[in-house]
Chain A
Amino acid sequence: MEEESDTRKINNSFLREHNYATEADIISTVEFNSSGELLATGDKGGRVVVFQREQESKSQPQRRGEYNVYSTFQSHEPEFDYLKSLEIEEKINKIKWLPQQNAAYFLLSTNDKTVKLWKISERDKRPEGYNLKDDDGRIRDPSTITSLRVPVLQPMDLMVEATARRVFSNAHMYHINSISVNSDYQTYISTDDLRVNLWNLEITDRSFNIVDIKPANMEELTEVITSAEFHPQQCHTFAYSSSKGSIRLCDMREAALCDKHCKYFEEPEDPSTRSFFSEIISSISDVKFSHNGRYLMTRDYLTVKVWDLQMENKPLETYQVHDYLRGKLCSLYENDCIFDKFECVWNGSDSVIMTGSYNNFFRMFDRNTKRDVTLEASRENSKPRAILKPRKVCVSGKRRKDEISVDSLDFSKKILHTTWHPHENIIAVAATNNLYIFQDKVN
């Protein structure tokens, strides 16, 4: 017996020290809620960690609203599909917050196949003084009870509990890549490679399929859906992006099945840049409406594009994220980095856009001043309260001091997931298994 427990202890520590154990900690999604008070992260191990912003205190103004862990729960577990002999990963692909309507917080989290609605609520009072059981739960012997008392709510240490309120399952044959809550706060869409399904938040046993691009013959498959999002104000409008680099805007009022788009956004390919990997680098990995609902932003492998909803034939703005990688596509293909799906995000006023890159770099583009900056999320360069220094990648031969050459970039350190506070200049950046939260410097 003793030997067994020793072996278990040894095995556990072995696993912890080696990378095998930390893959579950890799952050797979980050999302602020609509007020910015809460920040949720999901990881590859199926866990959700929610951070809450501290109340600003006058006594310590420099601790201006830091984020601390508020709740942690296991959202999804690994599952096995016996029919297809497939393992379903527990990795959280997306988290989306619902608007707050009462004291509790609600969020949707999804893995490849199942969406769950979680309620996160606080408990700071506990009933004490039961008649039939002790305060620690043991049943009292009825013969010892001589008088009755009324249980009273007593304060207790704050406890945050998460409960799964709805489970939306069995609606997707392919891997879910995105979810989006409608502005009506009653419905949401979940999107996989070939289909978009519309759900009512209250009903779990039924969903409506509103987009289906599966061809009758799978041999004719030429594109898949990569992301979909509801318009922020118009509850009947949503957009979905494809692996071919196009975005379709659909109006649910036109027909029950929105296969026919009302707007089609695509920029014709530049034939001079054609290569073996043209199709891969044009695949859109993320699509986001601006907060004002007038623009769309898309991210493909090398660029971020801003589209005006009124102009379908070309983007309004194109920003090069890391064009120096264009000559390295072959090796990025070999090491699978070319398949990385970077996300992009707007700031609260839609004036700045942000996206991630390699070497733990992330980029911000100011749409008004046309200036851009490259910053790095790393422990060495960011002590608390330190100001981030802009970084630069050297593309030509002569490397200046503090510049980093393209060949020195660490492609295993990638920033795929970022989020921006809805009102303030606070950003959260996920770098593998670390979460960095940056904010504007205090003057």
Chain B
Amino acid sequence: MISTMECAADAQSLISISLMKIHNSRTQRGGIKLHKNLLVSYVLRNARQVYIKEKYAEIYRMQQYEEVMTVCNEIQELNPLDLDAEDAEDEEQAAAHARTSSAIFGCSPLDDGSKEPDPCYYRSCCMEPSPVPHCDQFTANNSSSSSHCNKTTVLDLDTHVVTTVENGYLHQDCCCCDALQCGQGARSPARKRKVEFSCCVSDVEDVSDFTAARKRAKREDCCYSNIDYTDTSNISNLISIFGSGFSGLLSRQSDLEQICSKQVLASLGAWTRAIVAF
């Protein structure tokens, strides 16, 4: 338990400082220092935990207890997976539900490191805009703050393959499409791709492995503010580093942390824009 003396405001600045350090480490002489980046990622994790706790507490305080209980009763009749599918279909109705229900059930728990990792080629891709009203996107292109994008260019940072995607929908291999499904099903194609990918790369023993691993998005951490891209790959990596679950570092998650509120993360938008300015 992080000392409660550190307030959420410090957590925010620590997160941005840490991201900046990781960003700077890429260009410093002598290559990326594994030890230092590992320590920075610990600070990032700690700050993130505190920030999310504070935000969750704030959201919880904002809502009426009765409202929560009502929604609880309704939701108990539904399977959490179905609930997410519902969200995908009905935007407006899901809006109210998503706010409260996701606050309670949220997305799938953060990986505990024993699961297969997602492929590391998802980044800079545009997620499905319409079904998730509170889930802002983040686009590779220099798009404005619209929540819909017709065409997006996807840059695979590992293979440097550029693909153009229509209507903001990616092909099924991208794990970000699974953003709304907390189930396990969609992961098998992803897993398959991972094997292929690793076969193609002969020597992955590199410090960049570590930073690349950190870039993998967990499907629940897919809500980002719209970003004006000046330095697309670096900024996208930064945000995704932040968003990724650090599965190796988070061996045990408390229930509170598992509830990764979409709204909590969406509210990070304001200050993630500040980071983007770098």
Contact = CB atoms under 8 A, between A and B. Distances in A.
Interface of A: 81, 84, 86-89, 91, 112, 173-175, 177, 193-194, 214-215, 217-224, 226, 243, 271, 274-280, 283, 330, 333-334, 336, 339
Contacts of A226: 35
A45 to B, nearest CB: 13
A276 B47 contact: yes
Contacts of A334: 17
B14 A243 contact: no
A375 to B, nearest CB: 29
Contacts of B29: 87, 89
Contact of B117 (A81, A88, A112, A219): A219
B213 A86 contact: no
B205 A222 contact: no
B35 A224 contact: yes
B34 A219 contact: no
Interface stretch (B36-44, B83-91, B179-187, B220-228): B36-44
Contact of B38 (A84, A243, A278): A243
B207 A174 contact: yes
Nearest to A224: B35
B203 to A, nearest CB: 8
A330 B210 contact: no
Contacts of B33: 175
A147 B207 CA distance: 67
A274 B1 contact: yes
Contact of A222 (B17, B117, B249): B249
Nearest first, the 5 A-B pairs at minimum CB distance are A220-B248, A219-B213, A279-B42, A89-B30, A218-B209
A280 B30 contact: no
13 contacts: A174-B34, A217-B213, A217-B248, A218-B209, A218-B210, A218-B212, A222-B249, A222-B251, A224-B34, A276-B11, A279-B42, A280-B43, A333-B14
Interface of B: 1-3, 6, 10-11, 14, 17, 21, 29-31, 33-36, 38-39, 42-43, 46-47, 50, 113, 117, 205-210, 212-214, 216, 247-249, 251
Contact of B206 (A84, A215, A333): A84
A283 B37 CA distance: 13
A333 B43 contact: yes
B113 A219 contact: yes
Contacts of A243: 35, 38-39
* Chain A interface SS verdict (over half): loop
Given A86-B31, A175-B33, A333-B17, A222 B248 contact: yes
Contacts of B36: 339
A68 B177 CA distance: 68
Given A87-B30, A88-B30, A333-B17, A280 B39 contact: yes
A215 B14 contact: no
Contacts of B14: 276, 330, 333
Given A276-B14, A330-B10, A339 B39 contact: yes
B213 A218 contact: yes
Nearest to A336: B21
A81 B31 CA distance: 10
B30 A112 contact: yes
A222 B205 CA distance: 16
Contacts of A339: 36, 39
Given A87-B29, A283-B39, 10 more contacts: A86-B30, A217-B117, A219-B117, A219-B248, A220-B113, A276-B10, A276-B43, A277-B46, A279-B46, A336-B21
Given A112-B30, A274-B2, A173 B205 contact: yes
A334 B34 CA distance: 18
A175 B30 contact: yes
A279 B205 contact: no
Nearest to A81: B31
B216 A219 contact: yes
A220 B209 CA distance: 11
A76 to B, nearest CB: 12
B123 to A, nearest CB: 15
A177 B34 CA distance: 12
Contacts of B248: 215, 217, 219-222
Select the residue from B17, B31, B117, B216 with max chain A CB neighbours within 10 A.
Answer: B31
Contact of A84 (B31, B35, B212): B31
A280 B35 CA distance: 10
A246 to B, nearest CB: 15
A271 to B, nearest CB: 7
A193 B1 contact: no
A397 to B, nearest CB: 20
Nearest to B203: A83
B69 to A, nearest CB: 34
Output the residue of B3, B17, B117, B208 with the most chain A CB within 10 A: B3
Contacts of A194: 34
Nearest to A87: B29
Contacts of A223: 38
A88 B32 CA distance: 11
A221 B2 CA distance: 22
A280 B46 CA distance: 11
A219 B120 CA distance: 11
A276 B241 CA distance: 18
Contacts of B208: 84
Nearest to A222: B248
Contacts of A87: 29-31
B38 A221 contact: yes
A337 to B, nearest CB: 12
B67 to A, nearest CB: 34
Contacts of A279: 39, 42-43, 46
A232 B214 CA distance: 40
Nearest to B205: A173
Chain B CB within 10 Å, residue with most, of A175, A193, A218, A222: A218
Nearest to A334: B17
Nearest to B17: A334
Nearest to A195: B205
Nearest to B209: A218
Given A271-B1, A279-B42, A219 B247 contact: yes
Contacts of B249: 222
A96 B42 CA distance: 33
A174 B213 CA distance: 17
Given A219-B117, A224-B35, A275 B30 contact: no
A192 B17 CA distance: 27
B237 to A, nearest CB: 15
